[in-house]
Amino acid sequence: MHNLPPLARFGGLLATDLRDVTSDPAALDSRGFWAVVADFEGGTVCARFGDVRSAPVPAPVPGAWRGPAPEDWDSSLDRAAYTEGVRRIRRHIAAGEVYQVNLCRVLSAPLPDPDAADVDALTALLARGNPAPYAGTVRLPAHGVEVATASPELFLRRTGRTVESGPIKGTGRSAADLLEKDHAENVMIVDLVRNDLGRVCETGSVTVPALCAIEPHPGLVHLVSTVAGELAAGAGWPELLAASFPPGSVSGAPKSSALRVIERLETAPRGPYCGAVGWVDADRGTAELAVGIRTFWIDRAPPGPAGGGAVLRFGTGAGITWGSDPEDEWEETELKASRLLAVASEVQQPTGRATR
């Protein structure tokens, strides 16, 4: 559906009438309403829309989304490669190079009808099957951006000069599953986010209003903390993103060391997964960017003699610490993925084994 009009949808807001597209985050300090998709690897697309109005997510239309067959999903790291990656990270921790690393894998499956693949129709299914506080669509086919997210995690919220982040670390089927390891991991990432925001916030303004709160989501629970601060004079979106990106909860600590380990171990680019997806209202000085987890995106092959193909991608991962068990971490990535893949593949009763 390359001829579908550009749009962005976040919660009860629908943005249409595309006016401008840029990769320069300084535009977010100008004027207008912007949709933002930032890849984990650093590429950013900022799209300004002229018409923003209240509009609920439409109910799913039967047949509007044709997802991959459940058995067609492949993983960039299979079980053996992922658990070996966990063991290698533990060796890096033992050597004192890192404290925590988020190890991810990207799942991919061909779409059976690329011309009819509309991420906004997928968003409608996700809203019914996996409602999330930072759900949304960014559909910019001409710019290679087709993203549907059901993210539960706040990356950056801005209200004037106040900035807030809500890192998630610690996942289980219920609160009883959360271990001391999960709490320790959350505290490590809170310290990292405090340091990130401290680089661009007024000295002494960075606080932690909530630490390790238990937050329920469909099929699982998370440990969530809140870090807040007041932006220093002269700091705008370029400075804020440079200081805080990629999100600490999906990289590791120390961040620079964790990113080097990730580059060595992961075999596929994360793209918008673990990046940022959200909106900035430059006129009102408000914004809400989610961490791009629980996020689908479409990769399209250039049209050729046989036509163009399209692949649906989805990422899943886990935070690895010294206390990590390789098999348990693999199971965590399965838990995070199974419900979402079932929705995208239109399986009515998701099972714990939705990937291979």
Give me the active site residues, please. Answer: 153, 169
Among 279, 278, 261, residue whose Cα is nearest residue 317 = 261
Specify whether the backbone of 81 is left (phi greater than 0), alpha (psi in -120 to 50) or beta: alpha
Residue 232 CA to residue 25 CA, distance in Å, equals 18
Torsion of CA 53, 62, 351, 179, to 10 degrees: 10
Cα 251 → chain centroid: 12
Residue 88 CA to residue 65 CA, distance in Å, equals 40
Among 201, 237, 229, residue whose Cα is nearest residue 29 = 237
Among 321, 240, 238, 318, residue whose Cα is nearest residue 274 = 318
- H helices within 199-284, ranges in order? 237-244, 255-265
Farthest CA pair distance, the chain: 61
Cα 186 → chain centroid: 17
Among 157, 244, 231, residue whose Cα is nearest residue 192 = 244
- Cβ-count burial of 209 within 10 angstroms (0-12 exposed, 13-18 middle, 19+ buried)? exposed
What b/e readout covers 1-21, taking b as 16+ CB neighbours within 10 angstroms?
A: beeeebbbbbbebbbeebeeb
Q: Record the tokens describing residue 319, joined without a space.
A: 């935070």
Among 326, 298, 331, 327, residue whose Cα is nearest residue 316 = 331
Q: Are 248 and 196 in contact (CB under 8 A)?
A: yes
Q: Residue with structure tokens 């059901």?
A: 150
